[in-house]
Amino acid sequence: MRRPDARPLYVQVEAILNDRIVSGDWKSGQALPAEPELAAELGVSAGTLRRALARLEQRHLIERRQGRGTYVTQQTSEQALGQFFRVRNLAGRPVEPDTFITGVSTGPASEEEAARLRLRQGEAVHRIDRSRIFEGEPRIAERITLPAALFPGLSLPLAPAQLASEIYVHYRNAHGIIVVKSEENLSATAATEADAAVLNCPVGTPLLLIERVTFDAAGRVVELRVSRLDTRAHRYAVEIA
């Protein structure tokens, strides 16, 4: 460690290991070197390394397996759903959505899309419209907007088996984008005619509007998502602690 850097040493070590994961130097599912070797290689104490690893674990970038070592997290659809999908049925149980993509297009970012994605207005974005079905009923109408520069030649899985996979898993496997964090703004809105057609509800039905921006492990805004959730039979769960 010879970098002149004002950050605490464990934060610098975290950044170095983060880079190895983001760059693909350490691949999804790969075992990390043993802690003593890694600490020696980086020239830091066991305590400093452990503190850095704890932070990477908190960010879901690595995972410890009891008695078997530490691995780069291999994100599954279940993990992605568990972490990022907060919809519950009225009994409080998680729902397993089916997802149907209804449209994909590429075009210049609107002023609002550019502001949220930190792009210049007019830069190219991909737009994906989809609906999500819970227990046989369409309950979410949503648009996902992606910076085209980060998703070159966006290829969406279209076979039903692949559609079952969460899109964040696809971002990682097909585009090397590792999602770590989302910020959401929630509000209530009335169903428009377009919502009513997708969600099979009366125009004016109160919907939960979820505006999400998502960050990857490199700190970039990688996705804007606007979801409209029919809450007549579902809730959005939040834990505050």
Going residue by residue from 105 to 144, which x/- string records binding to a second copy, judged by CB under 8 A?
----------------------------------------
Bridge partners, residue 72, by sequence: 62
Return d(Cα 214, Cα 147) in angstroms, integer. Answer: 12
Least Å distance between CB 179 and a second copy? 10
Closest CA to 132 of 202, 21, 225: 225
Q: Using CB under 8 A, pick the residue from 81, 119, 207, 224 that binds a second copy.
A: 207
Judge whether 230 and 199 are in contact, CB under 8 Å. Answer: yes
Residues 7-66 that bind a second copy (CB under 8 A): 59
Nearer to a second copy, 165 or 205 (CB): 205
Least Å distance between CB 181 and a second copy? 4
Does 238 interact with a second copy (rule: CB under 8 A)? yes
Does 235 interact with a second copy (rule: CB under 8 A)? yes
Strands 179-190 and 206-216: antiparallel
Return d(Cα 203, Cα 112) in angstroms, integer. Answer: 25
Q: CA dihedral in degrees (215, 220, 223, 226; nearest 10)? A: 70
Closest CA to 220 of 82, 55, 22, 60: 22
Bridge partners, residue 108, by sequence: 124
Closest CA to 177 of 223, 120, 130: 223
Nearer to a second copy, 31 or 194 (CB): 194
Return d(Cα 241, Cα 238) in angstroms, integer. Answer: 10
Nearer to a second copy, 20 or 55 (CB): 55
Going residue by residue from 64 to 103, which x/- string records binding to a second copy, judged by CB under 8 A?
-------------------xx-x-x---x-----------
How many residues at the interface with a second copy, by CB under 8 A?
33
Return d(Cα 43, Cα 122) in angstroms, integer. Answer: 46
Going residue by residue from 161 to 200, which x/- string records binding to a second copy, judged by CB under 8 A?
-------------------xxxxxxxxxxx----------
Return d(Cα 204, Cα 101) in angstroms, integer. Answer: 24
Bridge partners, residue 105, by sequence: 127
Does 239 interact with a second copy (rule: CB under 8 A)? yes
Nearer to a second copy, 110 or 182 (CB): 182
Nearer to a second copy, 105 or 187 (CB): 187
Least Å distance between CB 141 and a second copy? 14
Point out which residues bind a second copy (CB under 8 A): 59, 83-84, 86, 88, 92, 180-190, 204, 206-209, 211, 229, 231, 234-241
